[in-house]
Structure 1
Amino acid sequence: MESRESLLQALREVERWEKEQKDLWFWEKLGRLPFVLLDKMTPKFVREKLGTAVDEMAAFLETGGTYLVSDEAVYSRFRSRKPERKEALFGKEDIAKLPLAEMNSVANELTESRAAFATVQGATTGIGGIFTLALDIPLLLGTSLKVLQEMALSYGYRPEEKRERLFVVKCLQFASSDIVGKKAILDELSRFDDPATEKDVIAQLQGWREVVVTYTENFGWKKLFQLVPIAGILFGAYINRSTVQDVAHAGMMLYQKRRILERLRQSDGHEV
């Protein structure tokens, strides 16, 4: 297990990343404008398809829906690293005790795997312009939810628990928010494991529909180029890959910080 000094160093690295997230890229300010225009020119059947993302998010929060991932796929990656783990039962409790370096390594592997999948997905849905874009957004939402669950499992958390799925949604919300939103979410997540604020966190997520709206609107300028048939293949591949990488990295850092703080509290016997 890491020393207190190494945990504090890891925490400082996460906090440095958090500060970097508060720098707003100019183009993000324009993120919603193209989507407003896109909405006006989008056929009704396309808008209806985009609307399914809301229902799918509701199903995910309640039961995991079709997006709930298998923990075995993640645990097998940890088992393969050491022969003695292959035959033994190896799950959440065991992963929670592993060094952060190993957790980070598996999380990075999963990020690359999902990013590669998203690249192919984006290229495929970029073929038909606006019509295949309607399919792309729900698919990308699903990939993002799955990779965040894999980040959770990599750090010893269980997304089949409803409260953990709330954390997943907050991570997704963080990845698609502006500076003000990111700061508010970081403040919320810093108190996520405090029993005194548990009800507050859940109450804040009653507006989860806004997460989906923001998530789709923020595709605005990014997805605008994907509307061009054929050329959309390149844009779709790049945009989907970078989106999944951003979401996965946000989840990796936020779950890592959560695990670090838990270990510091255990070593100190008090809140950090």
Structure 2
Amino acid sequence: MGFFTRESPVEKEWRRLLIEERRFLQKRLEKKSPLFQEKLKEKVPPKLQSTLDTAFSKAFALIFEKGTGLVEKTYSRQKLEQEYQVRQYALKIKQDSKSLRSFSKTVRNTSAKNTLLSGASGIGMGALGIGLPDIPIFTGMLLKNLYEIALHFGYGYEAKEERYFILLLIQGAVSNGETLLETDQKLNQFIHDGKLPDGYEEKKQIEAAAKALSKELLYLKFLQGVPLVGAVGGVYDAVYMKQIAAYAGIKYRRRYLQGRK
């Protein structure tokens, strides 16, 4: 008679993670464009896409170069690092699933708060007909959320390798089709070996993430530039903040668990 091998907490959490990861990818692969985008196609200026590309690229470059300190003023890095150490210690002592899942629970709570803030900001600016000027604010809030998620799992965000990981997360979360699958594979490869690709150029990766974001938000930012009606477009700041945070939570969790396997 054979014996059943009981799963360890890490193995159990890894299995749960893979299920959530497949669901997220499948949902993005099956995504269909909302009806309102089709109706707005003829009204969107031809040059708006390139304008958005440039705006997001500049926002990322500026925050990476000079703005990380400003972003950190919106939360206590020391406190988040201490809370991570407490969770690590609890896991070391207890070695149970509840302690392991506490990392993801903390991330969900943080992301929910940041999503609400992003939504309030987007709606407010949309009501005033402010679309393009919202991009630096949205980008700052987005990176704030991702920085906090990284700290909750014990990772930093200043190193070139960490910025690469963050930019890939953003690109993957708003992509679909082959681009999504390729980006997801790049993330898993980095999680496995922690190395930058040969010939990596941060500027090009910033442009790739910016282009993915601008393509997804094109019609919404156009709509957000219309007073009052723009509040509807502003709502989607929260929608995409939540979407990117969900994907980031999955990938940082995968990275953390793989380090413990």
**1:229-263 residue CA offsets vs partner (Å, 9 max, x unmatched):** 11222x14421111111111111111111111111
Question: Which of 26, 44, 50 is 1:38 aligned to?
Answer: 44
Aligned to 2:179: 181
Aligned-pair distance for 1:106?
Answer: 1.1
1:10 offset after TM fit, Å? Answer: 2.6
**1:82 matched residue in structure 2:** none
TM-score in terms of structure 1 length: 0.74
User: Percent same amino acid among aligned pairs?
Assistant: 18
- Encode CA deviations 1:149-181: one digit per residue, 9 max, x unaligned: 111111111112332122111111112212211
Instruction: Map residues 94-109 of structure 1 onto 2, 5 A cutoff.
Output: 95=87, 98=91, 99-109=99-109
Change over 3 Å in CA distance of 1:29–1:142 after alignment to 2: farther
Name the SS for the 1:203 alignment partner: coil
* Residue in structure 1 matching 2:138, options 120, 137, 140: 140
Q: TM-score, normalised by structure 2?
A: 0.77
Which of 144, 147, 150 is equivalent to 2:148? 150
Distance between the aligned counterparts of 2:42 and 2:195, measured in 1? 36
Query: How far does the alpha carbon of each residue in 1:13-65 deviate from its partner, in whole angstroms, 9 at most, with x for none?
Result: 333334424523220799799579534476xxxx4x97343223224445664
Aligned CA distance change for structure 1 residues 17 and 40 (closer, same or farther; 3 Å): same
Q: What are the ranges of 5 or more consecutive residues in structure 1 without an aligned counterpart?
A: 79-89, 265-272
Using the TM superposition, give the Cα deviation of residue 76 of structure 1 relative to its aligned residue in structure 2, in angstroms: 3.4
Residue 87 of structure 1 corresponds to none
SS at match of 1:251: helix
State which of 1, 11, 15 in structure 2 corresponds to 1:9. 15
- CA change 1:66–1:179 in 2 (3 A) is farther
Which residue number in structure 1 is paired with residue 111 of structure 2? Answer: 111
Of the candidates 186, 194, 198, which is equivalent to residue 195 of structure 2? 198
CA contact (8 A) 1:61 1:162 kept: no
Q: From 219, 227, 230, give the equivalent of 1:229.
A: 227
Structure 2, gaps ≥5 residues long: 1-7, 92-98
The answer on whether the counterparts of 1:31 and 1:217 sit within 8 Å (CA) in structure 2 is no
SS across alignment from 1:190: helix
Q: Render the CA deviation track for 1:181-225: whole Å, top value 9, x for unaligned.
A: 110111111110444x71317727552212212212211233343
Whole-angstrom CA distance in 2 between matches of 1:199 and 1:106: 29
How many matched pairs? 244
Aligned counterpart, 2:32: 26
Whether the 8 Å contact between 2:21 and 2:250 is mirrored in structure 1 is no
